[in-house]
Amino acid sequence: MLVKLLRKDGLAVAVGTMLLYTATYFFERGYCLRLNIPFDYIEITIPTIANVILNSIILVMPIALISLAIMQTGKKHEFRGMYALSPLYCGFLYTGVLFFVMEHTWSNFLVSAFLGGLFFLQLISSRYKQNDKDSSKAIYFKTLDYIGAVFLVSMTFTIYGHFYAADTKFDKYMQNGHVYELLKIYGENVFMRELKDGKMINEITYFNAQNMTGMKLMINPDH
């Protein structure tokens, strides 16, 4: 469904923009969920979008490029024989890449497999789902396609943002003898976490950007 939509020039920009903002918001939501930052402070700006794009290359590029190659190869062979399973191969690819960025547990594998299944369904041509395009069933399946696409994007980027935050190394700052890790900045809102005896405490310290005057960035604090 997504491939068909993006082929239409009039919808390509609108759908692409919507998916970009949706992906950015849910990436930030997953990031904040991991770090206990309130969702109400999330701001979607050009730097935020650019940051999510750069951070998501490792997730998006393998799926996009390899899936495109698989589907193009299948199309050349008219999806006959083993090439009829091209969307399924893409679903396996999606599962593998998503599981790679997650903690390797059985529950996370099941989640990635479920989302891989949704990706598989997005790649199936609508003619396999319903031949009569004017029927109420066709409308029903198209609606499910749209809902599935939004759910797939939102869940994928929420999960990726969550586990990206878990592996991030944060810059450390010092003020009045206290050491803080810089977790996130949204506009004038700065969220930091204090370190005591080299250990993180389970509290988020909020600063206004103006209150960070004189705060020192610690270069190579572990050396």
The whole-angstrom separation of Cα 216 and Cα 212 is: 9
Instruction: Quickly tell me which residue has 């029927």 as its tokens.
Output: 135
Residues 97 and 183 in one domain: no
Number of domain units in the chain: 2
Tell me the pLDDT of the chain averaged across its residues: 82
Tell me if 223 is assigned to some domain. no
Of 126, 146, 167, which residue sits at a domain end? 167
Which tokens go with 100?
A: 């790679």
Residues 89 and 158 in one domain: yes
Residues 56 and 163 in one domain: yes
The pTM score is: 0.79
Confidence of residue 162 (pLDDT cuts 50, 70, 90): very high
The whole-angstrom separation of Cα 70 and Cα 76 is: 10
Residues 159 and 177 in one domain: no
Choice between 108 and 210, residue whose per-residue pLDDT is larger? 108
Determine the 3-state secondary structure of 184 from DSSP.
strand
Of the candidates 112, 72, 119, which has an alpha carbon nearest to the alpha carbon of residue 91? 119
Q: How many CB atoms lie within 10 A of CB 188?
A: 11
The whole-angstrom separation of Cα 17 and Cα 104 is: 32
Confidence of residue 171 (pLDDT cuts 50, 70, 90): confident
Domain that includes residue 207, residue range = 172-218
Of 132, 150, 167, which residue sits at a domain end? 167
Q: Could you read off the pLDDT of 101-149 as tens digits, one per residue?
A: 888 899 999 999 999 999 998 888 644 554 555 567 777 777 777 888 8
Residues 102 and 204 in one domain: no
Tell me if 185 is assigned to some domain. yes
HSE, side-chain direction, 13 A CA sphere, residue 139 = 3
Centroid of chain to Cα 31: 10
Residues 101 and 161 in one domain: yes
